Chain A
């Protein structure tokens, strides 16, 4: 029998059933002769048993009706872009874990992968801003000079009572607005504002939302920032390349007025 050197790596392989059968005896002998490794192996086995026990009950739970429905229901509607809010709880879990384990910070490996098709409000709002805020003559479909028509038209299309916020106190004047697609099938209103220096921000408002969330978002490569709110029945993002405090201030004012308009 050829004896090879075993290492900690083999403990994992043995535990996971990946150790070739012919090496098993030699491995067992090695483990027996090394108390430290033997203790480690025993500990991993115990932890695994605890994990399995903690999750065993899930297998016996009846399948929730909504999941059965998802399989056997009507032809599935396309997955709504913002219906899913489970990731929110994942975010909360990260916060809780960081706090709960005495500042233990889990090192989250960054994963390089293209985005799924469940694009988020913020990404759409940023994309719209990048395209249209840069346009000199064709930034908007309906100019601010026709504000009443703009508001009526967008309200009807988007399905929300839209009142273009007055951001004069923040130094921004309405340029105008346009209609855009949102989510899978929905529509969004984009309202463009400009300050005296020509700096532009945009408001992206849609009724396509059933999640509740708020936060800020910047694309991986940098670029404009979005401050967003999602609520049941409407969602809003304010996008711009302002210093964070100023963007946040403008966004809060805009959101407050939008909300007042929507619920008026």
Chain B
């Protein structure tokens, strides 16, 4: 039991990194990780010995993320309602964030959640296509097309933001 908990604990930094790429705001990302951990602990028995805790935890977290995104999506109107002051603007995770890293994280937030998850899972978290497809519960072909589209989308967004930045510089 405690071995399992120790294994889970050692995955937290990775779960936090993944959550941060999905959600940007540090507290929200940690809320997602906490939900994931709580869910994992009540289902500790579902975790088969020998199975990688990483894959198991990422699968749990991904389901939480996608379920909620689906709800948010269906609740489009809720997203458009004015939130209480301070809620709408997610606090930047780090004051020392460079422009470049802020831009890339912003761009990542703007691509569709499915593509974001697929891309991050492979490009940052280092899962193989087979592992990532398994975690995301999609066929490998779907995973590959999400990654390819995600990269293209990201590139377009980064081009847009650097274009806007250069326009701002010209205007000064």
Contacts and interface: CB of A to CB of B under 8 A. Distances in A.
Contacts of B68: 84, 86-87, 90
Interface string A117-154: 01010000000000000000000000000000000000
Interface in B84-118: 84, 87-90, 94, 97, 100-102, 104-106, 108-115
A29 interface: no
A53 B103 CA distance: 12
A50 interface: yes
A130 B83 CA distance: 29
Nearest to A44: B151
A161 to B, nearest CB: 23
Contacts of B30: 64, 66-67
B101 A54 contact: yes
Interface stretch (A20-28, A30-38, A68-76): A68-76
A111 B21 CA distance: 20
Contacts of B32: 84, 86
A5 interface: no
A95 to B, nearest CB: 5
Interface in B53-91: 63-64, 66-75, 77-81, 83-84, 87-90
Interface in A5-59: 8-9, 12-13, 15-18, 43-44, 47-48, 50-55, 57-59
Contacts of B160: 101-102, 104
A88 B17 contact: no
Contact of B113 (A47, A98, A108, A120): A108
Nearest to A214: B81
Contact of A86 (B31, B74, B84): B31
Nearest to B22: A90
A55 B157 contact: no
A249 B110 CA distance: 34
B156 to A, nearest CB: 8
Contact of A110 (B27, B70, B72): B70
Contact of A17 (B80, B101, B111, B128): B128
Nearest to B31: A86
Interface stretch (A163-171, A191-199, A215-223, A233-241): A215-223
A100 B106 contact: yes
Nearest to B107: A101
B69 A90 contact: yes
Give 5 closest A-B pairs by Cβ, nearest first.
Answer: A215-B78, A54-B101, A87-B68, A97-B110, A89-B28
Interface of B: 5, 8-9, 12-14, 16-17, 20-25, 27-35, 37-39, 41-42, 63-64, 66-75, 77-81, 83-84, 87-90, 94, 97, 100-102, 104-106, 108-115, 120, 122-124, 128-129, 144, 147-148, 151, 153-155, 157-158, 160-161, 164
Interface of A: 8-9, 12-13, 15-18, 43-44, 47-48, 50-55, 57-61, 63-64, 66-68, 70-72, 76, 78-79, 84-98, 100-102, 104, 106-111, 113, 115-116, 118, 120, 212-218, 220
Given A70-B38, A101-B110, 17 more contacts: A16-B123, A47-B104, A50-B100, A51-B124, A54-B104, A59-B17, A63-B9, A63-B16, A64-B30, A68-B12, A71-B12, A71-B37, A72-B5, A78-B42, A88-B83, A96-B89, A110-B73
